[in-house]
Amino acid sequence: MKIAFIGLGNMGGGMAANLVKAGHEVSAFDLSEEAIARARENGCTTFGTVREAVQGVDAVVTMLPNGNIVRSVLTNDVIGHAPEGVLILDCSTIDVATVREMIDAATAAGYEMVDAPVSGGIAAANGGNLTFMVGGTDSAFARAQPVLEPMAKAVIRAGEAGAGQVAKMCNNMLLAAHMVGTCEAMKLAERNGLDPQKFYEISSKSTGYCWSLNDYTPVPNVGAASPADNDYNGGFAVALMLKDLRLAMAAAEASGARVPLGRKATEIYEEADKAGLGGKDFGSIFTTL
């Protein structure tokens, strides 16, 4: 297929490269000249505007920072400019209301669209091991699968429009709470004289098992390899986790859901961001305890 890829940042750049590796022709755009240069090195054809990139394509993938940018790009440069009937896949993490608004607008204009946010981080984006949570009709999902599979370890239909975003914000709220709990437990063990490596060996095989402990250990040189071993560089930034938590808190307020642990986790990540850890991996919460 010929696929337009809009947004070539830390996640999008690797995702676009994997589409090229799978044999697709990728027309790429980003505001960053550095990102554009990397895309060219990875085999993408690059363009100076979104409207140029979406000409003659079979599908359009967007991976953008927030809902306002997604709305602007889709409304001004994709809908009405990409060929009618193409599939639009928004892989950004944005609020549910905006993605449903965009899916309605795309459908009214003769397009099919899915929301397909991802879980996995930069390494998974580069390695083609992302999990995609997809919201949209059965027919749109069927069309989305061959586009997403070269970038994925799993492609799961969550439900109708917006369901992918609901799954993403709930998943990341749970992950944030898991990481805080993991960091607190490991710091408590350390402060009471238990070797963190020994605690890891015990808890990772006991009921404390979770991904944050077993697969992404937030203590340097303990357990699984993670950004903690590199001064918390790389991985999933505190600022990005905070963005996802704020989306979850807004959804909780709108729906009347009670999420006390989610709210506490949000407060903790807000404090870390204010303390200058916004660019560090979210496991750096360990250093604040």
- Residues catalogued as catalytic: 168
**Which one, of 53, 250, 15, lies nearest residue 150 by Cα?**
15
Say if CB 152 and CB 128 are below 8 A apart. Answer: yes
- Give the contacts of 202 (CB within 8 A, at least 6 positions apart): none
Which tokens belong to 233?
A: 């560089």
Cα angle value 219/225/231 (rounded, 5°): 55
198, exposed or middle or buried, with CB in 10 Å at 0-12, 13-18, 19+?
exposed
